[in-house]
Amino acid sequence: MSAVEYEVVIGLEVHAQLLTESKAFCACANRYGDPPNTHVCPVCLGLPGSLPVLNAGAVERAVRAALAFGCEVHRESVFARKNYFYPDLPKGYQISQYERPLATGGAVPIEVQGEVRAVRLTRIHMEEDAGKNLHGADGLSRVDFNRAGTPLVEIVSEPDMRSAEEAMAYLRSLRQVLRWLDVCDGNMEEGSLRCDINVSIRPRGESRLGTRAEVKNVNSIRFVGKTIQFEVERQAALLARGEGVRQETRTFDSAKGETVFMRAKEKADDYRYFPEPDLPPLRLEEAFVGRVAETVRELPLAMARRLQEELGLSPYDAGVLTAERDVAAFFSAAVQAAGPARAKKVANWMMGEVLRRLNEEGRPLSEAKMTPPLLAELVVLADGGQVTGPAAKRVFDEVWKGGERPEAVLDRLGLRPVSDDAAIDAAIRAAFARHPEELARLRGGEEKLLGFFMGQAMRETRGKGDPKTLNARIRALLAGD
Ligand code: ADP
Ligand code: MG
Ligand code: ZN
């Protein structure tokens, strides 16, 4: 007897904080990490008589995200009040969009095991964030309203994902695009990107959806995978015992790696949605949408494909170089300066040295002294044999530290390659003299010792010996001696 085989069905609701200077409906700073309640005013505290004014920058970013995912951006959408009681919600309602959202349709491309496919979106709407409850060690709870009124987009997917792997790929892709377009910084730890996971299972072949559980606010991509794994097992065990899955809201306990019951699923009725009387419908002009569309050009997945096709990069290299927009832009500019024929070499420097150092130093590329023209200059010099491999690393170091031109570093440190025969011959003779046994073995036909003497002679020139000349002169000296 074989157990029932289940298919997993997943739909995600992602909340992304928009990277605006100020909050959604007031002039308070939209900033994370400041002392509690330092960015508050009558509007975001919901004091009587205050009125919201919509932040145009938030609309622009929301539209940018919607266009990036190919949604239909509605020329008119409507803000609504979503009513509920919670201490972090000073007004007693959240301004959101309900029946008439900013955008509908669209899709997020995901790549799983080398295959690209689309996860359809249901909608993208705008809303405001709530404040944050802080539970103190003294047993008292306090509320920080700095986050209250922060602009968000909620991005709702269709139940299109069929595995934890796909859900994680979806989040990675979504996050990458939002960061690429400066819509959201994507920082899940700080809560600027949060994810509710809807999971259900159904017998394979069944077309109706199973009853789902919704797991709230999972704050890392790894936890998203764990949440789904746990839920699938929990639900399968319930069905195996003949108990149904109940529609409920759960949370993920990261210490235990388990989801925990939170409350029975709330229904839309519970929120008593109604149109926000203090805000007119949001009307978007054609020209505005057109201007925003111009800021949404090539997206990372398309760029990665182009780098493979036009420059012959491997899928892996193309993926790494398009993971972040600043890295992709740096790479493009350096290739432009060095010439497309040297793209692979530029890629190697980017992946080997530039990204490694950024990682080590924990700094963004924008703060680096290395620039695309400087890297291009170094690549061209190395490619033309005007600096040897080991010396090139030293030049890179110097440019990285001080932003000096590679040509200038070569002269300052005397790193121009030595290719005049007299100097090279002297270095080789010195190496021969120091290693008579190895020399005898080389003469006896042990070819691999050629490499040994290349290394020794290179060291004599302090890394500056031109490898081709070195090789030729070792052979010449052996033959002519
Ligand atoms: P809410 O959770 O606010 O009631 P929806 O009914 O629109 O809103 O569903 C929210 C999310 O749940 C969507 O991403 C949707 O794809 C997903 N979803 C709906 N039904 C299922 C299901 N049976 N299994 C898995 N995901 C589902
Ligand atoms: Mg939901
Ligand atoms: Zn405010």
| Percent of the chain whose pLDDT exceeds 70 | 99
Alpha carbon of 281 to ligand 3 centroid (Å): 21
CATH of the domain at 459: 1.10.10
- Rounded CA separation 334/343 (Å): 8
Q: Please tell me the number of the ligand nearest to residue 213's CA.
A: 1
347 part of a folded domain: yes
279-291: burial string, b at 16+ Cβ within 10 Å, e else: beebebeeeeeee
Question: Is the predicted pLDDT of residue 365 greater than 70, yes or no?
Answer: yes
Ligand 1, atom 2, residue with closest C-alpha: 214
Which listed ligand is nearest to 155 at the C-alpha? 1
Looking at the fold, whether 356 and 218 belong to one and the same domain comes out as: no
pLDDT band at 472 (very low <50, low <70, confident <90, very high): confident
How much distance in Å is there from the Cα of 64 to the middle of ligand 3?
24
Distance from residue 65's CA to the centre of ligand 3 (Å): 24
Shared-domain flag, residues 190 and 243: yes
Q: Is the pLDDT of residue 218 over 50?
A: yes
Whether 30 is in a domain gets the answer: yes
Question: Can you tell me the mean pLDDT for 2-31?
Answer: 94
pTM of the model: 0.86
Angle between helices 449-460 and 467-480 (to 10 degrees): 120
Cα–ligand 3 centroid distance for 414 (angstroms): 60
From the CA of 53, which ligand is nearest? Answer: 3
Ligand at minimal distance from the CA of 123 is 1
Q: Of all protein residues, whose CA lies closest to atom 11 belonging to ligand 1?
A: 11
Following CA atoms 356, 357, 361, 367 in sequence, which dihedral angle do they give, to the nearest 10 degrees? -120
Q: Inform me whether the pLDDT recorded for 3 exceeds 80.
A: no
Instruction: Evaluate whether residue 472 is within a structural domain.
Output: yes
From the CA of 96, which ligand is nearest? Answer: 1
Question: Which one of 77-86, 112-121, 438-447 scores highest in mean pLDDT?
Answer: 77-86
Lowest mean pLDDT among 44-53, 137-146, 427-436: 427-436
Mutate to test the pocket of ligand 1, among 13, 217, 271 (most ligand atoms within 8 A of CB): 13
Residue 34 has pLDDT above 60, yes or no: yes
Q: Supply the residue whose CA is at minimum distance from atom 14 of ligand 1.
A: 11
Please give the structure tokens belonging to residue 153. Answer: 């987009």
- Nearest atom, ligand 1, residue 198 CA: 26
Q: Which of 315-319, 337-341, 388-392 has the lowest mean pLDDT?
A: 388-392
Of 44-53, 265-274, 275-284, 369-378, the range with the lowest mean pLDDT is 265-274
Mean pLDDT over 452-473 rounds to 86
- Confidence at residue 267, expressed as pLDDT on a 0 to 100 scale: 77
Question: Is the per-residue pLDDT at 151 higher than 80?
Answer: yes
Q: Which of 292, 322, 355 is the last residue of a domain?
A: 292
Using a 10 angstrom Cβ sphere, with 0-12 exposed, 13-18 middle and 19 or more buried, the burial of residue 56 is exposed
Torsion angle of alpha carbons 345, 349, 350, 355, nearest 10°?
160
Same domain flag for 402 and 425: no
- The neighbour count for residue 264, using CB atoms within 10 Å, is 10
Domain, as residue range, for 159: 3-272+285-292
Q: Which helix (H) or strand (E) holds 17?
A: strand 6-17
**CA separation for the pair 473, 8 (Å, rounded):** 67
More confident: 102 or 457? 102
| Residue in 171, 198, 200, 216 to alter for ligand 1 test, most ligand atoms within 8 A of Cβ | 198
Question: Which among 427, 436, 429, 437 has a CA at the least distance from the CA of 458?
Answer: 427
Q: Which atom of ligand 1 is nearest to the CA of 210?
A: 23
Domain assignment of residue 467, yes or no: yes
Domain assignment present for residue 278? The answer is no
- Ligand 3 centroid to residue 315 C-alpha, Å: 46
Residue 481's pLDDT band, with cuts at 50, 70 and 90, is low
Does residue 321 share a domain with residue 262?
A: no
The yes-or-no verdict on residue 1 having pLDDT over 50 is no
- Atom of ligand 1 at shortest distance to CA of 156? 14
Q: Ligand 2 centroid vs 100 CA: distance in angstroms?
A: 17
Q: If you measure from the C-alpha of residue 103 to the centroid of ligand 1, how many angstroms do you get, rounded to a whole number?
A: 17
Asked if residue 355 and residue 245 are part of one domain, the reply reads no
Question: Pocket around ligand 1: residues whose beta carbon is below 6 Å from it?
Answer: 9-13, 156-159, 198-200, 209-210, 212, 214
pLDDT-based confidence at residue 214 (cuts at 50, 70, 90): very high
Atom of ligand 1 nearest to the CA of 266: 4
* Region 348-365 average pLDDT: 93
Question: Does 197 score more than 50 pLDDT?
Answer: yes
Tokens 């040509």 locate to: 407
Q: Are residues 443 and 476 in the same domain?
A: yes
Q: Which ligand is nearest to the CA of 50?
A: 3
Please indicate, yes or no, whether residues 41 and 12 belong to a single structural domain of this protein: yes
Q: What mean pLDDT is predicted for residues 442-450?
A: 88
Q: For all residues of the chain together, what is the average pLDDT?
A: 93
- pLDDT tens string 42-101: 999 999 999 999 999 999 999 999 999 999 999 999 999 999 999 999 999 999 999 999
Q: Token pair for residue 86?
A: 């919670």
- Nearest-atom number in ligand 1 for the CA of 157 is 14
CA of 10 to the centre of ligand 1 (A): 8
Same domain, 102 and 239: yes
Q: At a CB cut-off of 8 Å and minimum separation 6, what does 307 contact? A: 313, 317, 318, 321, 322, 343
Ligand 1 center–CA 260 separation, angstroms: 19
Question: What string of DSSP letters covers 215-237?
Answer: EEEE-SHHHHHHHHHHHHHHHHH
Question: Which of the listed residues 381, 413, 445 is the one where a domain comes to its end?
Answer: 413
- Both 11 and 157 in one domain: the answer is yes
Q: How far is the CA of 365 from the centre of ligand 3 (A)?
A: 33
Kindly state whether residues 182 and 81 are assigned to the same domain.
yes
Q: Residue 304's pLDDT band (boundaries 50, 70, 90)? A: very high
